[in-house]
Amino acid sequence: MPVRVAFVGAGGIANAHMRALSQIEDARMVAFCDIDQARASAAAGTYGGKPYAELGAMLDAERPDAAYVCLPPHAHVGQEEELARRGIPFFVEKPIANTLERATTILEAVRMADLVTSVGYHWRYMACTRMARERLEGKTIGMALGYWLGGMPGVHWWRRMDMSAGQMVEQTTHIVDLARYLCGEIVEVYAAMTTRALADVEDFTVTDVGTMTAKFASGALGSFSNTCLLKGFGYTVGLHVVTPDIVVEVESSRCRALTAAGEEVAPPDGNPTVEEDRAFVRAVATGDRAGILSPYEDALRTLAVTLAANRSARNGRPERP
Over its length of 321 residues, how does the chain's per-residue pLDDT go in tens digits? 899 999 999 999 999 999 999 999 999 999 999 999 999 999 999 999 999 999 999 999 999 999 999 999 999 999 999 999 999 999 999 999 999 999 999 999 999 999 999 999 999 999 999 999 999 999 999 999 999 999 999 999 999 999 999 999 999 999 999 999 999 999 999 999 999 999 999 999 999 999 999 999 999 999 999 999 999 999 999 999 999 999 999 998 789 999 999 999 987 778 999 999 999 999 999 999 999 999 999 999 999 999 999 999 999 999 999
CB-CB contact of 52 with 32 (8 Å): yes
Given 3-state DSSP classes, what are the helix, strand and coil percentages for the chain, each rounded to the nearest 5? 40, 25, 35
Helix, strand, or coil (residue 90): strand
Q: Could you give the angle at the alpha carbon of 138 between the alpha carbons of 135 and 142, nearest 5°? A: 85
Of the candidates 80, 76, 93, the one whose C-alpha atom is nearest the C-alpha of residue 13 is 93
Q: Kindly report whether the global pTM for this prediction surpasses the value 0.85.
A: yes
Distance separating alpha carbons of residues 54 and 69, to the nearest angstrom: 14
Distance separating alpha carbons of residues 46 and 129, to the nearest angstrom: 32
Distance separating alpha carbons of residues 6 and 121, to the nearest angstrom: 20
